[in-house]
Amino acid sequence: MIVTLVISLTLALVLGMLAERLRLSTLVGYLLAGIVAMQLWRGDMDQDLVEDFSHIGVVLLLFGVGLQFHFKDLVAVQRLALPTAIVSMIARTLVVAAAAWLLGDTMGLSVVGSVMFGVCTCVTSTVVLTRVLADNRVLQTPAGHTSLGILVVEDIFTIMMLVLMPVLFGNKPLLESLLWMAVKLVLLVICVLYFGRHVIGRVLTYVSRFASGELFTLSVLVFALGIAFLSSYVFDASMEFGAFLSGMVVGQSKFAARAASDALPMRDAFAVLFFVSVGMGFDPFTIWDHWELLLATVLLTILVASWVCYVTLRALKSPFRKAATVALSRAQVGEFSFILASLAATTYGVLPKEAVNVITGVAIITITLNAACYRFVPQLINVLEKRGFGDASKNDGEILPEPTENHDRVIVVGHGPCGEICTRLLRENAVDAVVVEMNIDTVNRLTKAGIPAMHGDARRRSILTAAGVEKAISIIITSPAAPAMEIATMARSLNPDIYVMAHTQYVRTAQHLRRELKNQVAVYSGEHEVALTMMSHLLSRQHATADQVTRELRRARELLKEAGDSLSGPEPS
């Protein structure tokens, strides 16, 4: 057991770090760890043990999905997410099932098996998609929210399949099985909700009073695994469905945030073993016997997933950039495909082992390509817009009104503490302040408060144009994390006379900005201002007069400026 866990986790760590270094998904590293382990240490590996641990990982994975599942996320984007997800899943299932039926005769795929093969490849990896969107700063945009809404629909579909598979592939009459399953599921939901309302909340409240984090984590795991066990052995439902329900119950309580921070790291550890076990079941040497089906499934997954999603979103009046961004993020399959395929093969005998092998190969290829290529999507969209595709003149936010007569317009990039203060002071002094912010929730809140706000990346020409940069007298970059040079350069290209104010973290970065922008610029570094504030406080405590403090601050500014000039060089990465 120890040898198995050491080899599995060590390989997962090494190959996961390598995948991260190559800007690929860590899932690729975990899957490769399983493949390498079985090829090099086949005699030392206890695959059954890893599969047992992986089952715990699956249960905790579904518990995490339930914990983070909120119907409000789906309701917020239901007009786009619901029809797009349904059309996309149906299209992917049909075309892949057709390919499996035509090319899967060598592995003995039946009609039912071909359809199940298509179903297993019609859902996108939640882990990969959220990571890709976050890495490319798309997660908190309208495109990211729409993608997450589609993921919610696919999660619901996966849960439904886990519930229906015993009925669809069982030996009892279909109608009788459906009715009996419906009754048991209703009883299970009622029991879990009642238990959650009257027991889980009280137990977690009691446990949280102890100064012991591990007891709280243990109690959350007991509820997750216990309800999963209850659903399987008492109500004859899948353990995954029970885990999803328990996650929903805990997620609706006041302990949702703590459960996510304390218990989900344990889920991640077991989930790694789940992906390793999937890799162990993959045979890279026999996959070439079915290379036609593998290649066809990869191409159809990438092309159909992207194209159908794009066409559906465009038909629903989504802007070109948003539709393309969402569509190109969905060209892969992942963890739920493994779960469905494994159950279909091992428990119900619908799929042959070779089909599961093909699905694993498809997942490895599509996850690798999607994670590696998605960072080039913005450049691709820009090229397409320049060639006349889409609607480059439109943007995801509303067109802001023209500046009020006799009022100057100032663009404030970012609405953190600094941006909020700047916006308030400008508006109090009769200046038209327009906020450009990446967080859509902040934009919605500002819009409701009557403050002009534009959602999007301030480096984009269309966003700055919509914010009125050509008629603005100044742009204030309030966040030190913002790419100030890129924003300022784009603003200057649209309005050469605009005055740029920027907040940077380092003195060296501030000097670089001043040197490149040359005039009409004021840059403030966090290092610089914190040093001055601390010195002012120290002098005041030493009973220095106001004139002395002012004089010393002026001298310190000159010294810091000289130090910054001497440090001027390439902008720090």
Query: pLDDT 10s per residue in the chain (573 long)?
Result: 677 778 888 998 999 899 888 877 788 888 888 888 888 877 666 767 766 777 777 777 777 777 766 666 666 667 888 899 999 999 999 999 999 998 877 777 888 889 999 999 988 887 778 778 877 777 767 787 788 788 878 878 887 887 788 778 777 676 777 777 778 778 777 877 777 777 877 888 888 777 666 788 788 888 888 888 877 777 766 677 777 777 777 777 777 767 776 666 676 777 787 788 888 878 888 788 888 999 999 999 889 888 999 999 999 888 888 888 889 888 888 778 888 888 888 888 888 888 888 998 898 888 888 888 888 887 888 788 777 776 544 444 444 555 555 678 899 999 988 899 999 998 888 888 999 988 877 888 888 888 888 887 888 777 888 888 888 999 999 988 888 888 998 899 889 889 999 988 887 788 888 888 888 888 888 877 787 888 888 888 887 888 888 888 788 777 766 655 544 334 443
Of 239, 207, 210, nearest to 220 by C-alpha is 207
Of 155, 338, 147, 151, nearest to 247 by C-alpha is 155
Provide the pLDDT for residue 397: 45
Question: Cα(26)–Cα(371) distance, rounded to whole angstroms?
Answer: 10
Angle (CA) 518-522-524 rounded to 5° is 125
Given the candidates 3.30.70.260, 2.40.37.10, 3.40.50.720, 3.90.480.20, the CATH classification of the domain at 409-567 is 3.40.50.720
Find how far residue 568's CA is from the centre of its chain: 37
| Site of tokens 């929210």 | 145
Provide the pLDDT for residue 573: 39
Question: Cα(346)–Cα(55) distance, rounded to whole angstroms?
Answer: 13
Residue 469 per-residue DSSP state: G
Of 308, 328, 323, nearest to 369 by C-alpha is 328
Please tell me the total number of residues recorded for the chain in this structure: 573
3-state secondary structure labels for all residues of 51-95: HHHHHHHHHHHHHHHHHCCCHHHHHHCHHHHHHHHHHHHHHHHHH
Question: Cα(40)–Cα(53) distance, rounded to whole angstroms?
Answer: 21
Contact 510/524 with Cβ under 8 angstroms?
yes
Provide the pLDDT for residue 568: 38
* Helix and strand totals (H; E) in the chain: 25, 6
Of 490, 497, 489, 495, nearest to 517 by C-alpha is 489
Provide the pLDDT for residue 198: 75
| Site of tokens 């395929």 | 341
| Site of tokens 């979103």 | 313
**What are the residues whose beta carbons fall under 8 Å from the beta carbon of 371, sequence distance 6 or more?**
23, 24, 25, 28, 128, 131, 132
Q: What does residue 500 show for φ and ψ, rounded to 5 degrees? A: -105, 125
Q: DSSP string of 251-313?
A: HTSTTHHHHHHHHHHHHHHHHHHHHHHHHHT--TTTGGGGHHHHHHHHHHHHHHHHHHHHHHH
Across-strand partners of 522?
501
Q: What does residue 436 show for φ and ψ, rounded to 5 degrees? A: -110, 120
Q: Does domain 2-386 have CATH number 3.40.50.720?
A: no
Provide the pLDDT for residue 43: 67
Provide the pLDDT for residue 88: 92
User: pTM of the entire structure?
Assistant: 0.66
Domain boundaries, the chain: 2-386, 409-567
Residue 48 is encoded by which pair of tokens? 């059954």
